Amino acid sequence: MSSSLPTTSHITEAGAAAKASVAGVAPVPGVSKPDAILTVDHVTRRFGGMTAVDVQHLEVQRGIITALIGPNGAGKTTFFNLITGFDKPSSAPRLIGGPKAGEAAKSTFNGRDVGNTGATKVAKMGMVRTFQLTKALSKLTVIENMRLGAKDQPGENLFVAVVKPLWAKREAEITAKAEELLARFKLLEKRDDMAGSLSGGQKKLLEMARALMSDPVMIMLDEPMAGVNPALTQSLLGHIQALRDEGMTVLFVEHDMHMVRHISDWVVVMAEGKVVAEGPSGTVMDDPAVIDAYLGAHHNTDLGDDSLLTDEVAEELAAEVSAEDAAEAAGDSAEDSVAKRAEGKA
Ligand SMILES: Nc1ncnc2c1ncn2[C@@H]1O[C@H](COP(=O)(O)OP(=O)(O)OP(=O)(O)O)[C@@H](O)[C@H]1O
């Protein structure tokens, strides 16, 4: 996939400005940003005795593309759920028996407290996340999916809902906006198709287009590259960069390290629930501690740059491969001799 990505010489003016906005920020976990749109403090989430998330302080810079990476089980999705109001921190303030003063979870988005805010309200405040097309949504048409993403639906307001000219006008506005976005994402000709019939990449585009129906200030993408074939990769990357270039803040979780390297202005690394590193992609992804966090768990994980395969790692991998080959060959020769013996008997 790396070969299909353009070089950074295609960087836009807005892209350069985004990178410049964090150029002087030290690559230190929890570092302050010059213009944070999201600030998170003391957010922990436990499941039974296991701590899935323990983020003491994190700031997300406004108007840039930030990637949230980490090995499987690092707590990325749980953290996404916590900041978008889909889950509640174990450290949320409580009237009785809550955390000590100064240790309770606190999140601020665009200058407003969102710590105890439900998902719908968080979305209305402008922080919207994409959702995978569930079975139910797959059975709706593309345009129906888009309409679901709109805020201020006619039915939400009793007065508008019962006065036909008002809801009819609102419905027409929603449809017009949906069609405009579908055209932008090259999905207009799929308008009346079942969402489930789209290709993997088109589904990702639809998820993104649907999230834009509510005019977000910040968009959170959950694995935008998962299941996308190379033909649509470039288009998806272009759309994500365009959102940033229009002034939106983008935060995304992704396992595809080539994409992370290529598109991110800033990278945050989680491991075992904590933020263990953050900084510009080049700096962070070449950091031995980050490589360890991945390679410790998955020796075949590619951080998007083959040069990261140091001699030591390469030797270790080669040793593993030759041990596997030897075991396989031993198995083969055992099978061969069984077969030969069987043949001999026959
Ligand atoms: N509802 C739950 N109940 C119990 N444990 C959970 C629950 N949700 C997540 N976990 C656990 O919390 C830890 C963090 O999971 P999470 O899905 O947030 O990690 P992740 O970094 O998103 O992983 P992946 O990259 O594989 O999606 C894992 O050990 C997971 O098993």
Identify the pLDDT of residue 306. 52
Identify the pLDDT of residue 171. 83
Return the residue whose CA atom lies nearest to atom 3 of ligand 1. Answer: 47
76 lines ligand 1 (CB under 6 A): yes
Q: Which parts of 46-155 fold into alpha helices (H)?
A: 76-83, 119-124, 135-138, 142-148
Distance of CA 233 to the CA centre of its chain: 15
Identify the pLDDT of residue 143. 94
Q: Which parts of the chain fold into alpha helices (H)?
A: 13-21, 76-83, 119-124, 135-138, 142-148, 158-162, 164-184, 200-212, 230-245, 257-263, 281-285, 288-295, 311-345
Sequence letter at residue 282? G
51 lines ligand 1 (CB under 6 A): no
Q: What is the pLDDT of residues 190-232, one digit of tens each?
A: 999 999 999 888 999 999 999 999 899 999 998 888 888 877 8
Closest listed residue to residue 81, CA positions, set 134, 137, 43, 124: 43
274 lines ligand 1 (CB under 6 A): no
Ligand 1 midpoint to CA 30 (Å): 22
Identify the pLDDT of residue 345. 43
From CA 123, how far away is CA 113, in angstroms rounded?
Answer: 13
78 lines ligand 1 (CB under 6 A): yes
Average pLDDT over residues 73-93: 90
From CA 84, how far away is CA 177, in angstroms rounded?
Answer: 24
What count of other Cβ atoms lies within 10 Å of the Cβ of residue 300? 9
Domain ranges within the chain, ordered by starting residue = 1-126+216-302, 134-213, 310-346
Ligand 1 midpoint to CA 70 (Å): 12
Q: Would you say 65 and 244 are in contact if contact means Cβ atoms under 8 Å apart?
A: yes
77 lines ligand 1 (CB under 6 A): yes
> Which range (76-80, 120-124, 211-215, 309-313) has the least confidence?
309-313
Which of 78, 88, 252 should be mutated for ligand 1, with most atoms under 8 A from CB? 78
Identify the pLDDT of residue 339. 46
**Count of residues making up the chain:** 346
Ligand 1 midpoint to CA 254 (Å): 15
pTM for this model (two decimals): 0.80
Q: What is the pLDDT of residues 150-205, one digit of tens each?
A: 876 555 555 555 555 566 777 888 999 999 999 999 999 999 999 999 988 899 99
Q: C-alpha distances in angstroms, 278 versus 22, 66, 110?
A: 11, 10, 21
Q: What topology is assigned to 1-126+216-302 in CATH?
A: Rossmann fold (3.40.50)
* ipTM of the complex model: 0.97
From CA 272, how far away is CA 294, in angstroms rounded?
Answer: 11
Q: What is the pLDDT of residues 301-338, one digit of tens each?
A: 566 665 544 555 555 545 554 555 555 455 544 444 44
Q: What is the pLDDT of residues 272-306, one digit of tens each?
A: 999 999 999 888 888 887 887 776 655 455 666 65
For residue 32, the SS3 value is coil
* DSSP-assigned beta bridge partners for residue 112: 109
Ligand 1 midpoint to CA 301 (Å): 19
From CA 339, how far away is CA 246, in angstroms rounded?
Answer: 67
Identify the pLDDT of residue 299. 46
Return the residue whose CA atom lies nearest to atom 24 of ligand 1. Answer: 72
Of ligand 1's listed atoms, the one at least distance from the Cα of 78 is 18
| Rg value, the chain, Cα | 24
* Residue in the block written with tokens 């959950």: 222
Identify the pLDDT of residue 185. 92
Which of 43, 44, 47 should be mutated for ligand 1, with most atoms under 8 A from CB? 47
Return the residue whose CA atom lies nearest to atom 5 of ligand 1. Answer: 47
Q: Would you say 66 and 83 are in contact if contact means Cβ atoms under 8 Å apart?
A: no
The two tokens of residue 298 are 């998955």
* Residue in the block written with tokens 């892209």: 15
Q: Which is it for the CA torsion 111, 116, 122, 125, positive or negative?
A: negative
From CA 329, how far away is CA 338, in angstroms rounded?
Answer: 14
- The pLDDT-based confidence of 340 (bands split at 50, 70, 90) is very low
Return the residue whose CA atom lies nearest to atom 9 of ligand 1. Answer: 78
For residue 55, the SS3 value is strand
Ligand 1 midpoint to CA 52 (Å): 7
Residues near 39 by Cβ (< 8 Å), separated by ≥ 6? 57, 58, 59, 60, 107, 108
Ligand 1 midpoint to CA 96 (Å): 28
